[in-house]
Amino acid sequence: MGQGCTDESFEELFLAYYGRIVQALGRLLGDWARAEDLANEAFLKLYRAPLPQGSDGNVAGWLYRTAMNLGIDALRSSARRQRYEQAAVVAEADSYRREDAFDRVLRRRDSSACAPFWRN
């Protein structure tokens, strides 16, 4: 665990800041379940690794900044996913339109090829 932190001191940090971190992420994301997941991820990062050198021992600030970065990353990922999904829908609609046009051309060719036989 980071910087010689004991399980008891980590539990104190968790209890002191978890609610605030979830609230901040919930306001950012508008999705409270996702906010809880990201808050857990921020605390897991704190548990697994020591604070960076530039943090000056400000655990609350590090947690808040880490959580906000995770939230911003989640928003970017969601926006990117929506763009890809919309592009896929448009591409699929275009392929259906192309198939319809192709089918119309084939039907015209088939009917014109049969036209001399109908006149007989």
**Residue 37 burial (10 A CB sphere; 0-12, 13-18, 19+):** middle
Q: What is the pTM of this model?
A: 0.66
Per residue in 19-32, pLDDT (tens digit) is 999 999 999 999 99
Helix crossing, 59-119 with 32-48: angle to 10°?
130
Closest C-alpha among 71, 21, 72 to residue 43: 21
- Mean per-residue pLDDT of the chain: 82
The three-state secondary structure class of 105 is helix
Class of domain 2-91: mainly alpha
